[in-house]
Amino acid sequence: MTNPVLVEVLRGTLVESAHRGSVVVVDADGKTVLALGDVAKPVFPRSAVKAIQALPFVESGAAEAYGFGDRELALACASHSGEPAHAELAAAMLAKAGLGLEALECGAHWPSGQTAMVGLARSGAAPSALHNNCSGKHSAFVCTCRHLGIAHQGYVRPEHRFQQMVRETMEAVTGAAHNETNRGTDGCSIPTFAVPLQNLAQGFARMTTGNGLAPERAKAARRLMSACMAEPFLVAGTARADTDLMHAAQGRIFVKIGAEGVYCAAIPELGLGIALKCDDGAGRAAEVMIAAVLAKLMAADETLAEKLTKAANPILKNWNGIEVASLRPTEAFG
């Protein structure tokens, strides 16, 4: 099936570009509450499932043993902008486990945040693995290995014992098979597995309600998502959608973007899990889609719905600060 156009980009009064995609919302019983487009098609969730991948970090007792709180747990689930606070916290997590940044196998890249990038360049330093947007997740990974007494070297590889734990956790939470036939490699070198979009939504419904999860896992899931909602800056950064949406919702919505236009979210008070994918992989459109579907689901709270609707209709300014374009969700959202 051809997915519907869910987001339009306007320049002047004309539609300049358009984004298709699929969105699914699943409740605590696994029932589909809303579906737009093909929600059975396998999708690589990429970084949108970092909170699920972080479950062994909490379940193993590693997070508690090292004395980590909301800040470290939020960073473990983050795709951060490489701002000083992010890089410093990742380094502090490693230090608690007696490790240095050489333990990280995610690779180095310049901070994605422009101010952070310019600041780092001006300091004369080069970017390290601590600036990699995934450094919090990787720090949590090696801390967990250390706590469990597993040699952390090679922890990014599919056959490593720790990566097998992550895969088993992902299978249990999403209910979808993870094997060599649906495996790819993520930007930070760990495996990523394509699973049906509806399984991702169901996974986040389970994460927030605990339905279908063992009690310890349900507790760890709530702990991680609460940490992200309490420390939204550490999940992304300055002027980033994850941070702004969770800040606006003040602890009532969990959201996480993934590369190539994926978004996962959960609304604890409604017991709902949400997953979406922009067909063409555009993050700008995925951000509009998640804000639009959240505005619809939270319509009963007019103040919050208004903020979410505003986030779903961003204005684009040019280099002279003139408003030249805008994005908007289409009527497909109803």
Which residues would be at the binding site for its own copies (CB under 8 A)?
A: 2, 9, 11-12, 14, 16-20, 42-44, 105-110, 114, 117-118, 121-122, 124, 132, 182-189, 192, 194, 260-261, 278-282, 285, 318-322, 324-325
CB 60 → its own copies: shortest distance, Å? 26
Length of the chain: 334
Q: Are 216 and 59 a contacting pair, CB within 8 Å?
A: yes
- Nearer to its own copies by Cβ, of 92 and 324: the residue is 324
- Nearer to its own copies by Cβ, of 78 and 188: the residue is 188
- CA dist., res. 307 & res. 2, Å (int): 31
- Nearer to its own copies by Cβ, of 183 and 223: the residue is 183
End-to-end CA distance of the chain: 20
- Nearer to its own copies by Cβ, of 53 and 60: the residue is 53
Q: Are 273 and 206 a contacting pair, CB within 8 Å?
A: yes
- CA dist., res. 95 & res. 104, Å (int): 12
CB 221 → its own copies: shortest distance, Å? 26
SS3 196: strand
- CA dist., res. 3 & res. 262, Å (int): 15
Label the pairing between strands 14-26 and 32-36. antiparallel
CB 309 → its own copies: shortest distance, Å? 23
CB 317 → its own copies: shortest distance, Å? 10
State residue 208 phi and psi, 5-degree precision: -90, -25
Own/partner pairs, 170-174, CB within 8 angstroms, 24+ separation: 170/49, 170/52, 170/53, 170/203, 172/213, 172/217, 173/52, 173/55, 173/203, 173/206, 173/207, 173/213, 173/217, 173/221, 174/49, 174/52, 174/199, 174/200, 174/202, 174/203
CB 68 → its own copies: shortest distance, Å? 25
- Nearer to its own copies by Cβ, of 97 and 195: the residue is 195
- Nearer to its own copies by Cβ, of 135 and 202: the residue is 135
- Nearer to its own copies by Cβ, of 268 and 281: the residue is 281
- CA dist., res. 143 & res. 162, Å (int): 11
CB 248 → its own copies: shortest distance, Å? 27
The DSSP code for 321 is S
CB 246 → its own copies: shortest distance, Å? 26
